[in-house]
Amino acid sequence: MRAIRATAAGGPEVLSLDDLPVPTPGPGEVLVDVAAAGVNFIDAYRRSGVYPVDYPHVVGFEGSGRVAALGDDVVGLAVGDRVAWSNAAGSYAERVLVAADEAVPVPDGVDDDVAAALLLQGLTAHYLATSTFPVEVGQDVLVHAGAGGVGLLLTQLAVARGARVITTVGSAQKEELSRAAGAADVIRYTELDDLTTELPARVRDLTGGAGVHTVFDGVGRSTFDASLASLRPRGGLALFGAASGPVPPVDPQRLNAAGSLYLTRPTLGHYVATRAELVRRADDLWDAVRAGTLDVRIGATFALADAADAHRALEGRATTGKVLLHP
């Protein structure tokens, strides 16, 4: 089978299309024919060495497809079932092994591309808006990278929960998409001379001087200081990613000085800690898609062989919504 491997830590050029043997499912695993693989920032962190892995590393953790074979002791799944997953190593491939516990059944009415597009970023948006800092009616919320994969979904979920959402975006086209997702105000942060002072000032203007209740920040290094400065007293900052690079160490006194703030660095695994929690969150997402209340934007689709181009586009801020690979 064809698969994309990172041969060493490095840029997109280390991604190579290789022929690998089809794996055999062990106990508790299923073999899946991949219909679509999701491209995520974490794939780039593992490729580049920001997150340590052993090389060669078959890239990718997310996808959708059909169960092709069952290992021993698998219950509740059958050959031919449609499933999606957000945590199966080696998903940039024609076939992948998925732990049965991680394989989420995909209902009719959700196609393979939407299923692959929704799971990782959708589960992330879901836990951020419902569990990390549950968004409440009437709150002001700031979402960075509002036209990104997580950003578009998170904006929709926060608006559905009754918040007024302010987003940041890097271009006019992204502004349009973010507004269509429900953002009440959109700030083009790339046009600010000094993001760290001007962004909080804009946010305070938009909130009657108060600042927002919550900031959801997946951009990291370049936005972190502005995020803290945009919060009202006792507000919360969910730093959930590092698209612009990791945030340097933080002195906890800063949280005191800025208004008894809350800072957390959440990660998906802790919010889909059990099979029941994973399926509950996924079911909420499938239901919203089928009801037409959650729009899943697939911004770009690449052939498996072009995975390096997909990484270049994602890391180069050239994408909106979800990026997929088709094996």
Least separation in angstroms between residue 190's CB and ligand NDP is 6
Say whether residue 169 binds ligand NDP (CB under 6 A).
Answer: yes
Say whether residue 327 binds ligand NDP (CB under 6 A).
Answer: no
Choosing from 240, 289, 304, 325, the residue that interacts with ligand NDP (CB under 6 A) is 240
Say whether residue 143 binds ligand NDP (CB under 6 A).
Answer: no
Helices (H), the chain: 41-48, 112-127, 149-160, 172-180, 195-206, 224-229, 253-257, 275-291, 307-315
Say whether residue 147 binds ligand NDP (CB under 6 A).
Answer: yes
CA distance 38 to 64: 8
Say whether residue 40 binds ligand NDP (CB under 6 A).
Answer: yes
Distances (CA, A) of 286 to 15, 84, 104: 32, 11, 11
Choosing from 103, 150, 263, 308, the residue that interacts with ligand NDP (CB under 6 A) is 150
Least separation in angstroms between residue 54's CB and ligand NDP is 21
CA distance 287 to 128: 18
Helix, coil or strand: residue 14:
helix
Choosing from 267, 283, 293, 303, the residue that interacts with ligand NDP (CB under 6 A) is 267
Say whether residue 216 binds ligand NDP (CB under 6 A).
Answer: no
Say whether residue 241 binds ligand NDP (CB under 6 A).
Answer: yes
Say whether residue 38 binds ligand NDP (CB under 6 A).
Answer: no
Choosing from 159, 215, 243, 289, the residue that interacts with ligand NDP (CB under 6 A) is 243
Say whether residue 227 binds ligand NDP (CB under 6 A).
Answer: no
Q: Which of 181, 115, 187 is nearest to 144 (CA)?
A: 187
Least separation in angstroms between residue 122's CB and ligand NDP is 10
Six-digit token string for 37: 């693989």
CA distance 147 to 161: 19
Cα–Cα–Cα angle for 156, 117, 319, rounded to 5 degrees: 80
Q: How many residues bind ligand NDP (CB under 6 A)?
A: 29
Length of the chain counted residue by residue: 327
Say whether residue 207 binds ligand NDP (CB under 6 A).
Answer: no
Q: Which of 221, 219, 231 is nearest to 262 (CA)?
A: 231
162 neighbors 173 (Cβ within 8 angstroms): no
Subset of 57-116 contacting ligand NDP (CB under 6 A)? none
Q: Which stretches of the chain bind ligand NDP, using CB under 6 A? A: 40-42, 120-121, 124, 145, 147-151, 169-170, 174, 218-219, 222, 240-244, 266-268, 315, 317, 319
